[in-house]
A and B are shown apart, each in its own frame.
Chain A
Amino acid sequence: MTTKLNNGIKELKFLWWNLEGVRLPRYVRAIIRSKTAIFGIIFVFLALLSAFFAPYLAPHDPYKQNITERMKPPAWVKEGSSKYFLGTDQLGRCVFSRLIYGARISLIVAAVAVLIAAVVGVVLGLIAGYFGGWIDQGITGITNFFLSFPYVLLAIAVMGIVGPGFSTLILVLGLTSWPVYTRIIRSEVLSIKELEFVDAARALGVREHRILIRHILPNVVNSVMVTASLETARMIINEAFFSFLGLGIQPPIPSWGNMLNDGKAYIFVTWWLVTFPGIAIFLTTLGINLIGDWLRDLFDPHMVF
């Protein structure tokens, strides 16, 4: 246990304060050894690339309608035109360009939602685990309450009642998904706070909040990163689902979810409208999950799968 923890601390030091350190090659080797992580990094890199450089990568304006060239199939199909690589939608907009721009929405929504959830969840988890007593009971009670909620139902109900929109979606996703972090962090803090270095810090007269931030928080960063990466994948799927229902990002802003919603209406005529946004969602979440799994193996080799 202690050696494992010591290794963990060393790795953390490496990750956060010693980036130019000599152990870098080991991590590079670890990535290269893990073929799956390479795939994950490629998929995520592609998504990030399209999100950042959408205006330069997209061959057409994603909002530009062209009624005369509507519902063109992809370029490799007989009726397709080479002008539109993945075809056009019901308004004659370029599907490929909309996909590239859609990466922005998906990634921003997921990233901000995960950030909100992680901050709220980690703070509550630290407090609950460290202080114990009635504070712990209260926070654990609320956490269990939210965890037992059918998450999708809660979010749908709130989105439906409050009304759809970009910031509402981010807030709802963020504020309904924090309990996962709280549960994990709380149980970690429970065991960490019994260790000698915490006692030592306390004996030296270090104040409570300082112990929490400087001594305990760095030791749970690994778990936060693993959870956050797996949660990012879930958030991308959730964003897509809400936009697919019409409760998330509203047209004409392109998002992978509302492109699926558009395509669903023409599902019997135009297969490409629902196929490509789904592939984009699938590959991006797969990439993030691969990286998350790899991180988990790296930080905690005892966990299986």
Chain B
Amino acid sequence: MGKYLLRNLVQLILVCFGVASLVFMLVFISGDPVMLMVPMTATPEEIQNLRVAMGLDKPLWVQYLMYMSRLIRGDFGNSIRIEIPAIRLFLERVPATLELGVAGMVLATIIGVSVGIISAMRRDTWIDAIGRILALGSQSMPVFWLALMLIIIFSVYLKLLPPFGRGGIKELIMPAITLATYNIPLILRLTRSTFFDIIHQDYIRTARAKGLPDWVIVYQHILRNAAIPIITVTGMNFGRILGGAIITETVFAWPGVGLLTVDAIFTADYPVIMASTVILVVSVVVVNFLTDIVYAILDPRIKYG
């Protein structure tokens, strides 16, 4: 176990390092950030001065080392648009994304797990067919289009919900439904197949033979055992879930980190792009790492070589 953790930890650090280098490379090949920052009327001297001030006249490897050492201290430089550190802009947006992410995941888990359970228990009936349609439909659904349709129905025609922005619970409803739709197929399919495997285990047959009612079996015996793979897969797919949040945020102008990143890309705000890319990817890798540990704790049968 200790050896396994250590190896994963080394891998974790390597991945973080790789991401940081990749982002540096992408920004480097994409052009000269100085030209974006100076006004149209700048003289060549002014441009040169700014370049020297930013350290962009130095050889590539010096720039790389400077970038890395600043990055370790959490310094990505100031946003090009506003004179605010990129990292602060990013952190300000985190609560909004968390709110959306939690709402979307809770909704997706409730729907996915309950439909998955019912489908597995009543296999090959019309209920199972509905579960299958729900899984396939949400998997084939372009969620950004679903978001637009929700806006048309609930904002334009019924005038029930505000189309954009963040505020109270009313603003949260449509983005949460959108994000949930993105995550439902994964949870639903997984719950159904896990449940289906567990139903045929000996201890479930024993519980049945004892005369326990169905709901007791589901809660006491199955749900606990099914929780492990469901939690694991959710953790392992954290990157995907984050991707869904980015898509949702861009359609509903939800002021989270996804919208910040997409806006930064459109305005070529490199410090912000770098900050959010590096932090988001590192957080995904860390969550995957933690999931591994939780998995090992939850299921003592798992041994690592």
| A positions within 8 Å CB-CB of B | 141, 144-145, 147-153, 156-162, 233, 237, 240-241, 244-247, 260, 263-264, 267-268, 271, 274-275, 277-278, 281-282, 285-286, 288-290, 293, 303-305
Contacts and interface: CB of A to CB of B under 8 A. Distances in A.
A52 to B, nearest CB: 22
A260 B146 CA distance: 11
A153 B193 contact: no
B140 interface: yes
Nearest to A40: B136
Contacts of A159: 265
B265 A160 contact: yes
B199 to A, nearest CB: 12
B239 interface: yes
Contact of B273 (A157, A245, A293): A157
Interface residues of B, number: 52
Contact of B27 (A152, A161, A246, A275): A161
A278 B149 contact: yes
Given A157-B273, A245-B250, 5 more contacts: A151-B239, A157-B26, A161-B30, A274-B145, A289-B136
B262 A151 contact: no
Given A151-B243, A241-B142, A275 B250 contact: no
A263 B14 CA distance: 44
Contacts of B141: 282
Contact of A305 (B26, B30, B189, B281): B189
Contacts of A268: 156
Contact of A233 (B11, B140, B281): B140
A271 B152 contact: yes
Contacts of B268: 160
Most A CB atoms within 10 A — which of B141, B163, B268? B141
Say whether chain B's binding surface is mostly helix, strand, loop, or mixed. helix
B245 to A, nearest CB: 9
Interface of B: 11, 14-15, 18-19, 23, 26-27, 29-30, 132, 135-137, 139-142, 144-146, 148-149, 151-152, 156, 163, 189, 192-193, 196, 239-240, 242-244, 246-247, 250, 258, 261-262, 265-266, 268, 273, 277, 280-281, 284-285, 288
Given A148-B15, A160-B266, A245-B262, A153 B281 contact: yes
Say whether chain A's binding surface is mostly helix, strand, loop, or mixed. helix
Contacts of A144: 11, 15
Contact of A157 (B11, B18, B244, B265): B265
A290 B281 contact: no
Contacts of B285: 148
Nearest to B193: A304
A244 B136 CA distance: 23
Contacts of A160: 262, 265-266, 268, 273
Contacts of B280: 150, 153
A152 B156 CA distance: 29
Contacts of A289: 136, 139-140
Given A282-B140, A289-B136, A304-B193, A153 B277 contact: yes
8 contacts: A145-B15, A149-B239, A153-B277, A161-B265, A278-B148, A293-B136, A303-B193, A305-B193
Given A148-B239, A153-B243, A162 B30 contact: yes
A43 to B, nearest CB: 10
A148 B243 CA distance: 11
Nearest to B189: A305
Which 7 residue pairs are nearest across A and B when measured between Cβ atoms?
A160-B265, A278-B145, A152-B243, A286-B140, A161-B30, A285-B140, A150-B239
Contact of B246 (A148, A153, A240, A275): A153
A237 B182 CA distance: 12
A238 to B, nearest CB: 9
Contact of A156 (B11, B148, B265): B265
Contacts of B281: 148-150, 153
A289 B132 CA distance: 12
A190 to B, nearest CB: 15
Given A141-B11, A160-B265, A161-B273, A151 B139 contact: no
Contact of A260 (B29, B145, B258, B284): B145
A286 B151 CA distance: 23
Contacts of A264: 148
B284 A151 contact: no
Contacts of A304: 192-193, 196
Contacts of B152: 267, 271, 274-275
Contact of A237 (B135, B142, B149): B142
Given A150-B281, A157-B265, A305-B193, A267 B156 contact: yes
Nearest to A268: B156
A293 B38 CA distance: 54
Contacts of B196: 304
A288 to B, nearest CB: 8
